[in-house]
Structure 1
Amino acid sequence: MIQSMTGFGKHTLLLPSKKITIELKSLNSKNLDLNARMPSAYREKELLMRKTIADSLVRGKIDFGLYVEMTGVETSSEINEAVVLKYMGQLKSIADGDSIKLMEMALRMPDALKVEKEDIDEAEYKKIEEVLKVALKELNTFRSEEGMVLEKDFLQRITTIKDLLEEVSQMDPGRIDTIRERLEKAVVDLKTEVDQNRFEQELIYYLEKYDITEEKVRLLNHLDYFFKTLKSADSNGKKLGFISQEIGREINTIGSKANYAPMQQIVVQMKDELEKVKEQLLNVL
């Protein structure tokens, strides 16, 4: 079963003096690209939280946010006077302004407020870790639901390519006859005597160049392998991407060998379906 790399998870932890909210957003990326935002007091646990996230999500562009809202008096915030004054001085050097306005702006800057209680104990972190795992579970559920939608689309498009390949197979004998007639007519139009045996040998040579039997067999095998990989237990977007490249290679070869307008039109339809598959595969885990 495939998973999308797009997902969202959010969960909140209520403590006696604070409310901690964890948010996770995921988008597609070739590798794991994790961006973390959290108060400085929680940075000591950042590596542990990053590992927990990486173990669960594997791949994708991940935005992780840990937000703290103080609700109790025992950990009330106070102004970091030295930092605020420094901000005000820097702002005033950029543009003149009223002191009250400058202070309002300075108070919005990082570290303008300091909290009396800065350390987090192990009991609190254990609860945060539990909340993080719940948010990760929500995000993975989201990814699985999105993956089901993608899987349905892939099945439909790969089935369409398989049906078009069947049309190509049915058309192939007539295509060869048309090419043969075209070459024979070209010789007749030359109005010159030719060695019939030599002509037959040359004709067989050219018809072999236009033969697409091997390409049809390989393409069918690649399509069946795509179906099999799509139904495997693990989501493997990279592997599906490699298979789609092989599918594209065989379709292109059939198109270049076709030398027959009706077949080339079918090849264009196959390419169109495959291109849509490739676009969607970029979002598969």
Structure 2
Amino acid sequence: QASDLLRLDIIASEAEAALSPEEAWPAVEEALRAALKDFLAMRAAEGANLKADVLSKLETLEEYRNRIAEHAPSVPVRLREAMLKRLAEADLSVSADDERIIREVALFADKCDISEEITRLSSHFDQFRTLCDSSAPAGRPLDFLCQEIFREFNTIGSKANDSTLSHLVVAAKTELEKIREQVQNIE
């Protein structure tokens, strides 16, 4: 109400309050336009800062994905070595060429294969960048992609059976949570 505005000193004097709506409208319209322009500029600046922050964190996720992809092939090799070592410690002489060892390592390698998850992560990261560069509202699609990225890292962690991979997955999920918090502020 006008009386509330007067108490808040938004309207400088009662004389100005006595203006008719037609007389006051040009000044009000000018003030509204200026406020709207400032609001939109502030929103654009905040959006640009959010985008830069989220894309920076996405690069960190890509680094984790790359480190995971580099380390993953060594996991079955280390299992084979650990198996042979345990068998030797138990005084069971088994050759590394023994078909049973080869079969066991092959089964393990198949169970811990994360190549599909690595590929899907790459796709999700590309989609994420595309959405960030789009002028369309992207908040919900980005939030959905965060869920999908989380799911891929979670699957990698489940398949890992390796402490190095597990640590990388935990670090990636922590970084992803930071992205998700920011994404939830995006329209």
Q: Which amino acid aligns with 2:156?
A: I
Matched residue SS, 2:82: helix
Q: Following superposition of structure 1 onto structure 2, how do residues 1-285 of structure 1 map, counting pairs within 5 Å?
A: 39=1, 68-69=10-11, 71-73=13-15, 121=21, 124-125=24-25, 128-185=28-85, 200-285=102-187
Find the structure with the greater CA-based Rg. Answer: 1
CA distance in 2, matches of 1:186, 1:166: 31
**1:154, distance to aligned residue in structure 2 (A):** 1.1
Q: Distance in 2 between matches of 1:163 and 1:219?
A: 12
The aligned amino acid for 1:233 is S
Distance 2:90 2:176 in 1: 43
Deviation at 1:126, TM superposition (A): 6.3
Tell me the CA shift for residue 242 of structure 1: 1.0
Number of aligned positions between the proteins = 180
Relative to its length, the structure with more strand (as a share) is 1
Q: 1:74 to 1:214 in 2, by over 3 A?
A: closer
Give the secondary-structure state (helix, strand or coil) at the position aligned to 2:134. coil
Deviations 1:10-37 (A, max 9, x none): xxxxxxxxxxxxxxxxxxxxxxxxxxxx
* TM-score in terms of structure 1 length: 0.54
Please say which of residues 229-238 and 253-262 is displaced more in the overlay: 229-238
Distance 1:213 1:260, change over 3 A: same
Shift of 1:243: 0.9
Q: TM-score, normalised by structure 2?
A: 0.78
Equivalent residues of 2:80, 2:101 under 8 A apart: no
Q: How big is the shift at 1:250?
A: 0.5
Task: Give, in angstroms, the shift of residue 73 of structure 1.
Answer: 3.9
Q: Do the aligned partners of residues 259 and 74 (structure 1) sit closer, same or farther apart at CA in structure 2, a change above 3 Å counting?
A: closer
How many Å separate the matches in 2 of 1:40 and 1:72? 10
Q: Deviations over 1:89-124 (max 9, x none)?
A: xxxxxxxxxxxxxxxxxxxxxxxxxxxx8xx64564
Q: CA deviation at 1:253?
A: 0.8
- Alignment CA distance shift 1:72-1:40 (3 Å): closer
Greater helix proportion: 2
User: Residue 73 of structure 2: SS of its match in structure 1?
Assistant: helix
> Does the aligned pair in 1 maintain the 2:117–2:152 contact within 8 Å?
yes
- State the match for 1:89 in structure 2: none
Amino acid at match of 2:13: T
Q: Is the 8 A contact 2:76 2:108 kept in 1?
A: no
Q: % of aligned pairs identical?
A: 33
Q: How far apart, CA to CA, are the structure 2 residues paired with 1:136 and 1:202?
A: 67
How far has the Cα of 1:254 moved from its partner?
0.6
* Structure 2 alignment gaps of length 5 or more: none
8 Å contact from structure 1 (residues 215, 250) kept in 2: yes
Report the residue type matching 1:159 in the other structure: E
Contact kept? 1:180, 1:207, Cα under 8 Å = no
RMSD, matched Cα: 3.1
Amino acid across the alignment from 1:69: I
Point out 4+ residue stretches in structure 1 off by more than 2 angstroms: 72-76, 120-134, 179-194, 196-207
